[in-house]
Structure 1
Amino acid sequence: MREFKDTYRHKGLRMQLVKLLQQKGITDENVLDAIKNIPRHFFLDSAFDKIAYEDRAFPIGEDQTISQPYTVAYQTQLLQIKRSDKVLEIGTGSVYQASVLAEMGARVFTIERQKKLFELNKNFILKSKYPNIKFFYGDGFEGLPTFAPFDKIIITAAAPFIPPKLIQQLKDGGLMVIPVDEGNNQRMLRITKMADGSLQEEAFDLFSFVPMLTGRNG
């Protein structure tokens, strides 16, 4: 049985990571505080313990990755999270992104299409700390209509297009942050749903994500 410890060394490495994120342009103090407070090494295999706070992605199984901290911080900053925001996340993965949102006070509804990852996340190490994360097994393109509308929606995989059902589940005035496919890289978009149902689109930097796939696997 793995023993989870958050040592002074880990906390020091997180402080270094936060400084790096600031240098790379992350300015939202709430995002930086969340990353400083969350032990990222808990979300990775113990083999990665010594390098868990490097600013890079790591494999987590099922051809999925835990996103690099800069990507997590970048998407979260674009979402403009406020305490008690109701957020839909597409792609639970390691639960690290959902934990950042939960640490900031959001109510997170997260969908995973990989059955093995969904089952693993039932024993998520910080589950008792973040009761504001609700886990679902399903198709991200379908969203969670039963729980809509959402204040914010975040997609953590490369979408081939903006899923119309997710737009329907976004409340008026709500924000969606989504990396949209442009070949090997994806353009990060922030979409605001206006009161008349029209969409205001802002384009940001290029990133590289695993693809967003339809259906459920497993």
Structure 2
Amino acid sequence: QPYAYDDRPLPIGLGQTISQPYIVAWMTELLAPTPSQHVLEIGTGCAYQTALLAQLARHVYSIERIDDLSSQAALNLNRAGITNVSLAVGDGFEGWPAHASYPCIIVTAAPPIVPPELLNQLGPGGRIVMPVGGAGAQQMVRITRRADGSLHREELGAVSFVPML
């Protein structure tokens, strides 16, 4: 409760943070999931954004690299009564190929480049929303796969995220 109205990155334990609420909302708006779509989320964290996505999409597949955070996320989702989410502990750079292709992919940490495996798992008409770049030079990007298979990349503004590990 001491952070209830703070619009800044917030601590979630284990030395990790959740993005500021404005950024969570902006990324969700850019992704624009619909009730018929499933979403791949890279970086579950405490499952705050996961829970928001679960209200908008048919199903959310979310990967977290830290086992204890994934366990806490599962408890948080259970307490909230959210059942349309599947969680896994793993390497976000690899995505979750078993459920591909995805119409929506969201990444909550910044890799230096867009991971090729995530592009491979993006379906026709699909969107990836993510920060990309190194410390001090990150951009929020949205990449859309066109019907002909080509990719359209939009750079939407400077951001500052933790690096994707």
Structure 1-normalised TM-score?
0.71
Q: Which runs of 4+ in 1 moved over 3 A?
A: 125-128
Structure 2-normalised TM-score?
0.93
- What is the aligned counterpart of 2:20 among 56, 68, 80? 68
Task: Specify whether residues 104 and 60 from structure 1 end up closer, same or farther in structure 2 by C-alpha distance, changes over 3 A only.
Answer: same
CA RMSD, Structure 1 to Structure 2 (Å): 1.5
- What is the aligned counterpart of 2:4 among 52, 55, 67? 52
Which structure has more relative contact order (CA 8 Å, sep 6+)? It is 2
- What is the aligned counterpart of 1:151 among 99, 103, 115? 103
3-state secondary structure, aligned to 1:54:
coil
Task: Name the counterpart of 2:71.
Answer: 119
State the alpha-carbon separation in 2 of the partners of residues 51 and 163 from structure 1.
33
Q: Displacement of 1:160 after TM fit?
A: 0.9
Q: Displacement of 1:83 after TM fit?
A: 1.2
1:180 partner amino acid: V
3-state secondary structure, aligned to 2:149:
coil
Unmatched segments (≥5 aa) in structure 2: none
Task: Name the counterpart of 2:163.
Answer: 211
Which of 150-159 and 79-88 deviates more?
79-88
Task: Name the counterpart of 1:27.
Answer: none
Greater radius of gyration (CA): 1
Where do residues 79-158 of structure 1 align in structure 2 (5 Å cutoff)?
Answer: 79-127=31-79, 129-158=81-110
Task: Specify whether residues 185 and 68 from structure 1 end up closer, same or farther in structure 2 by C-alpha distance, changes over 3 A only.
Answer: farther
State the alpha-carbon separation in 2 of the partners of residues 62 and 210 from structure 1.
14
Higher helix share: 1
Higher strand share: 2
